[in-house]
Amino acid sequence: MTKAIRAKMNAKLQSWKETLKPYSRPSRRRSIWQLANSIVPYLGLWYLAYRLLDVSYWATVGASVLAAGFLVRIFIIAHDCGHGSFFRSRKANAFWGGITSFMPFLPYHAWRHEHAVHHAHSGNLDRRGMGDIETLTVKEYVSRTRWERFRYRAYRHPVVMLVIGPLYTFLISYRFWPSRATRRVKMSVMRTNAALAIMVVAMTMMIGVKAFVLVQLPILLVSGAAGIWLFYVQHQFEGVYWERNEKWDFVEQSLKGSSYYKLPRVLQWFSGNIGFHHIHHLSAKVPNYYLEKCQKEIAAFHRVKAITLLSSLKSLSFRLWDEEKRKLVGFAVADAMLRSQAEAAR
């Protein structure tokens, strides 16, 4: 990429930053209210789910599912704190980010670092691997061994991704720090693990192991599945942008590589407006409660194609990136290529 093209890209990004700057000032009042209307109902529903164990486990599951919705909303608060967009104060963001990330069992600084890498490289084919859904190109998939292809197919299966994956991610994966982790990330993981151990021991002593698991497990499963699905569909949809590093453009990635997921109002509320993901990637400094305002008031966003709840289901069929056709495809394309290679080798 020439210096002239890079300068043009930087100028475009700077222009967008200026456009979104008026929306990037957190409101202390709105942030405190969001904390209250997310955490208080969540804790209340958790207790209700526990009390309903004496009535019917299906009633407990119902309360747990509703609590899971609030936990997704709590995670969005942690997400905003991680970007420094929920409060103006860095200390307030760190404090509340730590609390709200702990509730879904996440180490705040470890997750924050991983997510920052995602924002810096999303849609860049040469910088995949941290904070994103593993996505191979067709050629990469075909070049792998049978075992590696099987592993990848299993990883991308909806049952693994939305059922097994969330439990593994929130209960196991984040209990360890990645290789080459900084001291801050390591301490974040250790502090979270210690706090979780204390919380679990205290809860099981008060209500018993069985009751704790029967309430907490469905909450983690449903909220985790919802969270991973949101993250998946935000970057795995028809018409998505992927590019090699030498041509990768931050603004193009934001507007074309991050979806505008137009959800029903109630789901938009529970998901903390994260469906306006194209705006969020353009400027992570915009608090979640101003994203819809940006969408309505900035004309350029009106041209971004929305994905609905129904149309988003098509994303389940996308498995690989076809560099020649420049689009996401299913395994059928790669399977046909493998058959062709096998016949040519005979």
E strands present in the chain? 136-137, 260-262, 306-308, 320-322, 327-329
**Looking at this protein, which amino acid is placed at residue 146?**
R
- How many H helices and E strands in the chain? 16, 5
Q: CA 156, CA 139: separation in Å to the nearest integer?
A: 17
Alpha-carbon span 65 to 51, nearest angstrom = 15
Backbone angles phi, psi at 305, to 5 degrees: -70, 130
Q: pLDDT below 70 — which residues of the chain?
A: 1-2, 5
Q: What's the pLDDT at 201?
A: 97
pLDDT at position 1 is: 60
H/E stretch holding 71 reads: helix 57-82
Q: What is the mean pLDDT of the chain?
A: 94
Angle between helices 57-82 and 90-102 (to 10 degrees): 150
Distances (CA, A) of 223 to 10, 18, 69, 161: 37, 35, 6, 13
Q: How far apart are CA 61 and CA 67, in angstroms?
A: 10
Long-range contacts of 9-17 (CB under 8 A, 24+ apart): 9/249, 9/250, 9/251, 12/251, 13/250, 13/251, 16/251, 16/282, 16/283, 17/283
Looking from the CA of 191 toward its CB, the CA atoms found within 13 Å total 14
- Answer positive or negative: Cα dihedral of 110, 221, 273, 128: positive
Structural domain boundaries in the chain: 3-345
Position 81: which residue type?
A: C
Instruction: Please answer whether residues 97 and 110 qualify as being in contact, where contact means their C-beta atoms are separated by less than 8 angstroms.
Output: no
